Structure formats: structure tokens, C-alpha cells
Structure 1
Amino acid sequence: MKEGPDIAQIGSLIGDPARANMLTALTGGKALTATELAGTAGITLQTASSHLSKLEVGGLITQRKQGRHRYFTLADDDVGLIIEGLMGFAAYRGFTRHRTGPKDPALRKARVCYNHLAGDYGVRLLDSLVAEEAIAGVGDKLALTQFGTSKMTALGIDLPALAKLRRPVCRTCLDWSERRSHLSGSLGQALLTLFLDKGWAKREPDSRAIRFTGTGEKEFLKLFPLPAQSPIERRHEHAVEA
């Protein structure tokens, strides 16, 4: 078939191991230099520059200059969703690149996925909003209900500002560690920003991991409750008591 979208071209861009490593590094949401990305991919700076050029032409990344330096980021939310989705698919199929390390539990609990919260807590966030009917819909066609709008407004989320952005307010993203969906979109980003601004959580240096403080964890779990019979709720019972 020679008509329609060319998925082979996108697949070839993502499929190279070095480029895949660089794209994965950029899902952390931070802008990185070519030197940093070369170190992540385990290649020379010259080779990294060639790969980055291909990714930029392919529309997967973008760059901005600041002084003498160039910083690279994923082009947009859609690219982040694709990469995270592929990571989830690979994990589900058993394609892992390394043995479990000491950072893995922290990453699985809470981490940055491009610009929103992922991991166990990211999935809990979406599950809770759906369970209490703050978000309704099917698949990726989600929207805040009247109750959800009131709840977000009470938290200080500027929903009219989010609605003006050229991307969905509520969107799902396949979580690679939980193998279920977490909340992305402009609301997912706004909530993660809220948690960080309130001091409930902070990002671990040189890592995608998000670490909640004791107070922040209690506030988060209280704000996003789940039915008592839920498996994910049982996993957090000790966290609430701590």
C-alpha cells in the first residue's frame, strides 16, 4: 500500500537505539544539550548531532538557542505520548533493557512523563477523578464534569486559560510501568505544576522521579481518594498512615 501516512518513516526514526535513548531522555520534560544527549545515548557528539538533525527534520524534536548553547526538547505532547506509549508496549511485551535498579521503585511510584505526572500516583490521579465522576468520557474523549470543574477551580487551576491552549484539557497517556492510563493534557500538566508549587513534591536531580514529601503525600492521597476495594488503594494504606 502506497497511500496514507508513512508510519515506516516515523518508525525508522524512533527505532534506532541511539535516537530511542535520546527521545526517552527527553520525555523527562527538560531541555537537554547535544552533549548531554550524546552521553545518554553513549555516542560521540558528532554522531549525536547527526541523529538530532534527523529527529528535528522528522518533526519529533525541536531546538532553541540560548547564548552559545542549543537545547533540545520533544516537539510537542503528541511525541511524548507516542514515546511513553511505546515504552508501555515494550514493558508489557517483556522487552527490557536492564535489570531492576535502585531508582526503579521511585520511578514506578511517581515520575515526570514529558510535562505531567506518571507512575503509580499518575494512574491513581486519573482513577480517582473518574471514580468520583470529576472526569467522564470513553477512551481518550474525556472531559471535566460540573463537579470536576468545581474541584479544579477550588484547587486554583485556571480552567479558562487551559481551554484556550491548542491541545486537549483532559487526555490519557499509557503508563509504561502501570500498563494503564494516567492523565495528560493541559490539566495533567497544570496539576503536576500545582503539586510542585505547593511544595508537596519535588523532582529528583538528574532523574524523572518525583518524590512527594510526607505532608505532600498525605494531601495528595486525601485529595484523590479511591474506593476501599481498589487494589491501588490498598497499596497506599500504609502511606496514609505514615
Structure 2
Amino acid sequence: MSNFVSGNSLAEVAALIGDPARANILQALADGRALTAGELAWHAGVSAQTTSGHLAKLTEAQLIALEKQGRHRYFRLASPEVAEAMEALMLVAANGPKRHRPVGPKDQALRTARTCYDHLAGWLAVSMADSLSARRLIVLSDGAAAVTEEGHRFFSDFGLALDDPKSSRPLCRTCLDWSERRSHLAGRLGAALCQHCLDLGWIKRGRDSRAVTFTPKGVEGFRTTFGITLP
């Protein structure tokens, strides 16, 4: 089957994302968590009825997926590729015409550390990629990434189980960071690093934002394990 996408198909997807309310919905789901229609209505800034229509269009286009748990209905992004597309669009938007809007604490928090679907992004994630590359635990080249033998030993000692023969997802790949203009780690490795940092209590998810916050334990952990001094 051909992977070629026609201009019409591309324009249809772009038009769906181009609506501000739908863009806000996709942004709210970009950290990989599932949210209810009511929560997404709040993020979109529109009524519940209007949100229902937006969710139907996004579901039909397979940009989001519906999950049911008993009587409850949740929505999440359909795939990591949708999150990466949103991250790429944020990079394009950030490089576009400058709008006069003061940078607030929320903006700075997102730039420092956030989730991009199931992996970390922002200054923290780029710093981790730099540290791992400098120690030859991973190799970064032309937008691709690979784990070295020494890297496999390091990640195993760190507590990550990276071998998954059933998964078709790449072990290690890069994702261009919109705020840093450089690459952070995605793939199974990026997802495993993010989840392990959460499990260790190094970082905590924000309630209404993709930004993550550091704990005192995390400040020490990132310093001793990755050589990163947190701001």
C-alpha cells in the first residue's frame, strides 16, 4: 500500500487542526493522558455541545480515540505520531511572526520540562539527550538515534527494560523540540525514561498543563545520574 498522501488529504487534516478549539483539544491530550469531554471543553474554551461536535470530527479523522470505562468516556490521542505532529507545528508557529505577548510562568515551565505524549520534552529532555550522547550511551546522527552496548548496560542498571520483541515501535528515535530547536529522545527509550522518572518520584505531572515539576529527590537524581543541574 502506498504511503503517499494527497494534497487534499493533507489539507483536510490541517483544516481539522486549524480550528482553535480543536487545536486546544489536541494540545490538552498531547501528554498522552485520556481526558473526559467535560475536561476537554474547559481546555477548548467552548460549550459542551460544541466540544461534542469537535470530538466527533477528530475521532472520525482518527486523530483521537475514544476509550470507555463503564459509563465513563475518555478521549486520548490516537497515536504518538499525532503528538509529534503537534510538536512540529508548535515549532513552525514559534518560528513564525512574533506576537507581542509577555512570557508568563506557565510558558517558562513548559519550556523547562514537559511531556510530549509519553516522553519528556523541553530543556530537561534535550539536556538528557546531550548527556547520554556525550557519554556515548546513545549516538545521535542526522535526526536518528541508536543505543550503544554501553548504553544498554547503563539503562539496564538504571532499571529500564527496553527489550520488547512484540513492539514495532523504534527503540530510540529523536523528536525535534519546539522550544529548544534541538532534538530530544522519543521511541520506547524516551517513553521508558519518562515513566521511570515518574515512578522514581523525580518529576510530577501538572494538573492543567503538560509541564512537569521537579521534586528534591529529582534534583539530586538528575544531577548524579545524568550530570544535569536543574534551574
Return the TM-score normalized by structure 1. Answer: 0.86
For residues 124-135 of structure 1, what are the structure 2 equivalents within 5 Å?
124-135=127-138
| 148, 151, 157: which one aligns with 2:151 | 148
Amino acid at match of 1:195: C
The answer to whether the 8 A contact 1:27-1:113 is kept is yes
Structure 1 residues 195 and 4, CA, compared in 2 at 3 Å: closer, same or farther? closer
Of the three residues 95, 101, 118, the one matched with 2:121 is 118
Of 183, 194, 197, the match for 1:195: 197
Structure 2 equivalent of residue 48 of structure 1: 51
Match of 1:31 in 2: 34
Q: Residue 169 in 1 paired to residue 177 in 2?
A: no
- Match of residue 15 from structure 1: 18
Describe the SS at the equivalent of 1:136: strand
Q: Hey, what's the Cα distance between the residues in 2 that align with 1:200 and 1:17?
A: 34
| Partner AA of 1:85 in structure 2 | A
Which residue in the other structure is 1:212 paired with? Answer: 214
Q: Which runs of 5+ in 2 are unaligned?
A: none
Could you tell me whether the CA contact under 8 Å between 1:92 and 1:179 is conserved in 2? no
Picking from 60, 67, 71, the partner of 2:70 is 67
Does the Cα contact within 8 Å between 2:143 and 2:183 map onto a contact in 1?
no
1:147-196 Cα distance to aligned partner (Å, 9 max, x none): 111111111111213x5322111121121221211111111111111111
Cα distance change of structure 1 residues 198 and 11 upon mapping to structure 2, 3 Å threshold? same
Conserved 8 A contact 1:201-1:216: yes
Q: How far did 1:4 drift? A: 4.1
1:195-225, Cα deviation, whole Å (9 max, x unpaired): 1111112123222221112231222133223
Listed one character per residue, the Cα deviations across residues 75-96 of structure 1 (whole Å, up to 9, x for unaligned) are: 0111110001111221122466
Check 1:97–1:113 CA distance in 2 against 1; reply closer, same or farther (3 A cut): farther
- Matches of 1:39 and 1:196, distance apart in 2: 26
User: Is residue 2:108 matched to residue 1:105?
Assistant: yes
Query: Which residue identity is paired with 1:185?
Result: G
Moved more, 204-213 or 20-29: 204-213
Are 1:90 and 1:96, in contact at CA under 8 Å, matched by a contact in 2? no
Contact 1:116/1:189, CA 8 A, preserved across alignment:
yes
Say what the alpha-carbon RMSD is for the aligned residues.
Answer: 2.0
**Structure 1 range deviating more: 90-99 or 53-62:** 90-99
* TM-score normalised per structure 2: 0.90
Task: Name the amino acid aligned to 2:36.
Answer: T
User: Sequence identity, in percent?
Assistant: 49
Q: What amino acid sits opposite 2:64 in the alignment?
A: I
Q: Which letter does structure 1 place at the counterpart of 2:23? A: A
Q: 2:225 matched to which residue of 1? A: 223
CA distance in 2, matches of 1:67, 1:58: 25
Unaligned 5+ runs, structure 1:
226-232
**Partner amino acid, structure 2, of 1:175:** D
8 A Cα contact 2:28 2:209, kept in partner: no
User: Quick one: distance in 1 between partners of 2:146 and 2:220?
Assistant: 27
Q: Point out the more displaced range, 199-208 or 37-46.
A: 199-208
